[in-house]
Structure 1
Amino acid sequence: MNFDLNFPGLWTDSAPGIWRQTPEDFGVDELWTPPDSGGEHVLLHIEKRGQNTEWVSRNLARFCGVRDFDIGLMGLKDRHAVTRQWFSVYLGIRPEPDWSQLQIEGVAVLSVTRTQKKLRRGDHSGNAFKIWVRQVEGVHEQIDEKLSYIQANGFPNYFGDQRFGHDGYNLQRAHAWFVEGQKPKKKAHLGMYLSAARSYLFNEILAERVRRGDWSTMIDGDEGAPAASSVVSESTVPTGPMLGGPEFLSGTAGEIEQLRTASLSEWLTAIHKDGARTARRPFVAKPVDMSWQWAGDDIELTFSLGSGCFASVLLDQVFRLN
């Protein structure tokens, strides 16, 4: 089964451009303030260049002689980027290693301290981005107008393509599990495919609201929440379901949810059977401290997004990237 991942954006036209020519074109910093030092978990602030977060985590575990489970982190970060993020290491009775001897290609330890708790996914408030888009084709003033709109109003809070795997592979495996009974054997794959399926259903519902033009305004039956942001947001926006089964809102909003998921009812049954329960996610993501500047036909953008929001989705509203 094939899945269409071309979800509608704010505009039908987009400016061609190139990104990620080098890892330095895509910079990410986790937004998090470490607690007072002390505790049984080592807290590492790490910069990685051109490396996968999970690969770095596994190599940290090997270096420390601990289980993969003993490494904590707050979020997966892009491989083709320069990212600065936090890891925790539970050593137990093992002596703390000499961090100056850590040799992982593309990895540098920026600081070492201690913390009381293992880091968990989503503990941080968000991420700060500095991104270059190169060789942009388009009228700069028109691009500026679109970026100004996003700066003021936000953008559709879709899950990015990376959630779904190459060519939607994670969705294909989820479908094989839910419909054909081909349940993955590895626990990590179970979570990954389940997350991809629920994210796709959310995107389908949000896509319909974007087509209708009411993705950012409350309609009959909507359940509101603050916009997804790295800071406390005062505005109330509609939310969509991270479905744990056929659990929908009432009114027009609920009718849209049912309409967009009707063809995948077998998914809903399987997701509920696996133990997932419905939660809500804002339809609107709001960037913070957003600015941009041109250098010829290259543009540098800086902004912060809340945890779980995708910089690639913001860029996709304006640019058609390689």
Structure 2
Amino acid sequence: MTQDMSSSPVSPLPDWARSLGQAPHSGRFREFPEAFQVEEQMSFTPEGEGEHLWLHCEKRNLSTAQLIRHLSHQLEVAPRDIGVSGLKDHTALTLQWVSVALTGRPTPPGLRDHIEMDGLRLLDAGRHPRKLRRGVHRANRFALYVTGEAVAEGSLEARWHELAAHGVPNYFGPQRFGHQGSNLTRARALMARGWKKKQDRDGFLLSSARSFLFNQVLSARIEQGNWASGLEGDVFNLEGSASQFAGEALDDALRTRLAALDIHSTGPLWGRGDSGVSGEARALERTVAEREPSLAEGIEKAGAAPMRRPLRLCLQSPELERDGEGLWLRFSLARGGFATAVLRELFQHPAL
């Protein structure tokens, strides 16, 4: 379905700063499911034996939650016995792995006919000793078809090449905060009362609160002009790795590595305890947290451990192809990256 810009609701979330400034033209995306394609990229495949049946699924107009419910019913297992590495979009064509615990049970005969339905195809299947855990995929490969004024006027292509060369702000996308920011609204209320596991069993509200503070820090650093060039006291993340280190003095060697996209400054996933930053970086993050005391204090009282997330994303293997009145954008993002963070740098749209 085409997203009608004139009737789309205005997001209550802040209009966080963009690295390239406000985009001059509007655009459209996700006009039909095949216009937003996502493929999970794993660094391993099922071993061929074990108690868990791994399924490589292609889904169209189907959320990951709907997929889990369907497999739970068809294979007669509890939803908790189904594992996924990540949640994939509903209005999209997505490829992802799912594991199903079949302890002591063989793979059902006629598996494909048993689980396929409208919007769901089984691409591959194999047994594996372990359940699929969240966040084990290496990256996501996107193929996005975009149209609109930004394509016609050519501003999108120029901005795309800037992002490919210099990286993208690693914002959490609007889907992290729920429809019209509903998860964040609920998180504020829950933090004010005192976070309790039974009121947030999956941790979505806690995650929404931490994501909001991260985005606030990233936006402040873009406005200050140091999100990509570093700040005294930063903790840095090595590109393509989970490895992090404290930089202490921001010397020429670190600046050279930042410019080469070899390392990235990080921002906080707020928690109780030392986050590792110092100096100017710590002062900035404290200032942001002081503006949101109920969220910051609520997260700390919930016992969340502090973590760090890169402020910058690299577009891996970026490709741009003109097709009729639109453009295909193809790129990979490390796990945890949001394609919507890329799109909001390229054009204006109410959902971004």
* Matching residue of 1:23: 33
* Contact kept in structure 1, 2:200 and 2:206, CA below 8 Å: no
Cα pair distance change 1:213/1:46, threshold 3 Å: same
TM-score normalised per structure 2: 0.85
* Contact kept in structure 2, 1:226 and 1:236, CA below 8 Å: yes
- 1:106-163 CA-to-partner distances (Å, cap 9, x unmatched) read 1111111111211111100110011000233466543222111111111100000000
1:115 counterpart = 2:128: yes
* Contact kept in structure 2, 1:228 and 1:284, CA below 8 Å: no
Deviation at 1:234, TM superposition (A): 6.9
* Contact kept in structure 2, 1:130 and 1:300, CA below 8 Å: yes
Deviation at 1:237, TM superposition (A): 1.3
Query: d(CA) in 1 for partners of 2:325 and 2:240?
Result: 31
Query: d(CA) in 1 for partners of 2:194 and 2:236?
Result: 36
Segments of 5+ residues of structure 2 without an aligned counterpart are 1-10, 243-259
1:215 counterpart = 2:243: no
Query: d(CA) in 2 for partners of 1:172 and 1:304?
Result: 31
Letter in 1 for 2:268: P
Cα pair distance change 1:175/1:216, threshold 3 Å: same
* Contact kept in structure 2, 1:228 and 1:306, CA below 8 Å: yes
Letter in 1 for 2:98: F
TM-score normalised per structure 1: 0.92
Query: d(CA) in 1 for partners of 2:133 and 2:96?
Result: 13
The correspondence of residues 112-261 of structure 1 with structure 2, limited to 5 A, is: 112-137=125-150, 140-181=153-194, 183=196, 185-189=198-202, 191-227=203-239, 235-245=262-272, 247=274, 249-261=277-289
Residue 291 of structure 2 aligns to a residue in which SS?
Answer: helix
Deviation at 1:246, TM superposition (A): 6.6
Letter in 1 for 2:23: D
* Contact kept in structure 1, 2:166 and 2:261, CA below 8 Å: no
Residue-pair matches, total: 318
Residue 192 of structure 2 aligns to a residue in which SS?
Answer: helix
Query: d(CA) in 2 for partners of 1:142 and 1:246?
Result: 44
* Contact kept in structure 2, 1:227 and 1:283, CA below 8 Å: no
Query: d(CA) in 2 for partners of 1:172 and 1:245?
Result: 22
Query: d(CA) in 2 for partners of 1:141 and 1:320?
Result: 14
Residue 292 of structure 2 aligns to a residue in which SS?
Answer: helix
* Matching residue of 2:96: 85
- 1:197-221 CA-to-partner distances (Å, cap 9, x unmatched) read 0000000000000101110112111
Query: d(CA) in 2 for partners of 1:195 and 1:104?
Result: 33
* Contact kept in structure 2, 1:46 and 1:86, CA below 8 Å: yes
* Matching residue of 1:74: 85
1:305 counterpart = 2:333: yes
* Matching residue of 1:266: 294
Cα pair distance change 1:63/1:31, threshold 3 Å: same
